Amino acid sequence: MDRVLKVRNLSKRYNKGCPACYRKTGADFDSNICPDCGSVVAAHDVSFDLYAGEILGIMGESGSGKSTAVKCLYFDQEPTGGSATFYDQGEAYELFELNKAEQRRLVNQRFGMVYQNPHQGLNFEISAGGNIAERLLMSDVDNYDRIRQRAVSLLTRTEVLPERMDEMPKNFSGGMQQRVQIAKALATSPPLLFLDEVTTGLDLSVQAAILDLILEIQQQSHTAMIVVTHDLGVIRLLADRTLVMKYGRVIETGLTDQILEDPQHAYTQRLVASAL
C-alpha cells in the first residue's frame, strides 16, 4: 500500500496566541476561543495518514476546523504548526516547507480541489472548457487540439454535455457547476483530491449523482481523497475511514462503519444518534 499523505500535529491559530491557547480550548472546554487571549484555535494536533485509493472523511459541525485542516494542506491558509508530507512519484514533499513556486506546481498539477461554492473553484469570466484549459495550460499541456480533446473527455466523464463547453459557468445549474469543478480538478489526473462540502446545498437527486460520480472516479482512477462534510450520509457512502472533529480537535478516528455503529466519544454518539 502506498502512502500519499502523512499529516502530523497540524495546527492553525488566528491571532497571536498565548501559552494557554492549546491547553484551554478544544472539545473538553466546548470552545475554540482561548479564554486568556481571545485567539481562535481553528485546528490543533490534527494527525492522519492517507493511502492511495483511500477516501478519508473529515466530519464535524461548522467551526469544528475540518475545512481549516484541508485549506492548510491545499495552501489556501498557512498553518501555525505541524507537518505534512506528500508522497508523489518517488519523492517526498514537506508541504509546509515548500516555496510559493513549488506550492503552485503541486496545486496546479498534483492536487485537485472541489469547493462547496463553485465560485471559488471556477473562473466565472471564462467558459467551462476554458476553465479546464486554464488548468491544463498551467501544467504541461499546451497544444490547442489536445487541450480541447482532453476538455471534451473530462466533461463527458463528469456528464456535462461537451456541446456546452463554450458556455459560461453562470449559465449552468448548481449541480452542473459542481461537475465542471470536478472535471477541472481531475484535468491533470491528480493523485490527491480534496472535496470540501461538495454536495451541500444541492438538490437530493443532484447530490446523489455527484456522489456516484465521486465513487466512480475513485474506483477507476484510484485517486486518494479527503472528503470534508457535516453529512453522515456522505460519510457513510464515501469514506473508508473517518476523523471526527470538534472545536478544532480530532476527537475520534476509526473505520467509518465503526464510527457509525460503535462511536466512542460522547459527541460522536450524540451526532450518530441524532442522524439515525
Partner 1 sequence: MTKQAILRVEGYCKQFVLHEQRKVIPSSHDVDLEVFSGSLTALVGPTGAGKSSLLKGIYRTYLPSAGRLIYTTADGRQIDLARADEHRILQLRRNEIAFVTQFLRFLPRQVTEDVVAQPLVQRGRPLEEARALARDMLAAMNMPRRLWGISPATFSGGEKQRVNLARGLVAKPRLLLLDEPTASLDLKTSDLVVGLIEKLKQEGVAMLAIFHQPELVKRVADRVVELKPPIMTDSPLEEIA
Q: At its nearest, how many Å lie between partner 1 and the CB of residue 122? A: 27
Neighbour-count burial of 148, counting CB atoms closer than 10 A to its CB (0-12 exposed, 13-18 middle, 19+ buried): middle
Residue 68 or 158: the one with the smaller Cβ distance to partner 1 is 158
Q: C-alpha grid cell for residue 268?
A: 460522536
Q: Which residue has the cell 484549459?
A: 133
Residue 62 or 205: the one with the smaller Cβ distance to partner 1 is 205
What would you measure as the largest C-alpha separation in the chain, in angstroms?
Answer: 60
How far is residue 114's CA from residue 122's CA, in Å, rounded to a whole number? 9
Using alpha carbons only, how large is the chain's radius of gyration in Å? 19
Residue 111 or 267: the one with the smaller Cβ distance to partner 1 is 267
Q: At its nearest, how many Å lie between partner 1 and the CB of residue 244? A: 14
Q: C-alpha grid cell for residue 107?
A: 496545486
Beta bridge partners of 244: 59, 252
Q: At its nearest, how many Å lie between partner 1 and the CB of residue 68? A: 23
Q: At its nearest, how many Å lie between partner 1 and the CB of residue 271? A: 11
Residue 148 or 157: the one with the smaller Cβ distance to partner 1 is 157
Q: At its nearest, how many Å lie between partner 1 and the CB of residue 51? A: 6
Binding residues (CB under 8 A) for partner 1: these are 1, 49, 51, 54, 208, 212, 215, 219, 237, 240-241, 253-255, 257-258, 261-262, 264-266, 269-270, 273
The side-by-side arrangement of strands in the sheet containing 3-14 is 40-51, 3-14, 81-88, 91-94
Q: At its nearest, how many Å lie between partner 1 and the CB of residue 241? A: 5
What is the CB-side half-sphere exposure of residue 78 using CA atoms within 13 A? 7
Which three-class secondary structure state does DSSP give residue 7? Answer: strand
Residue 109 or 256: the one with the smaller Cβ distance to partner 1 is 256
What are the distances in angstroms from CA 184 to CA 132, 151, 157?
5, 8, 11
How far is residue 255's CA from residue 157's CA, in Å, rounded to a whole number? 30
Residue 39 or 158: the one with the smaller Cβ distance to partner 1 is 158
Q: Where are the beta strands (DSSP E) in 15-165?
A: 40-51, 55-59, 81-88, 91-94, 111-114
Q: At its nearest, how many Å lie between partner 1 and the CB of residue 26? A: 17
Residue 166 or 262: the one with the smaller Cβ distance to partner 1 is 262
How far is residue 74's CA from residue 68's CA, in Å, rounded to a whole number? 10
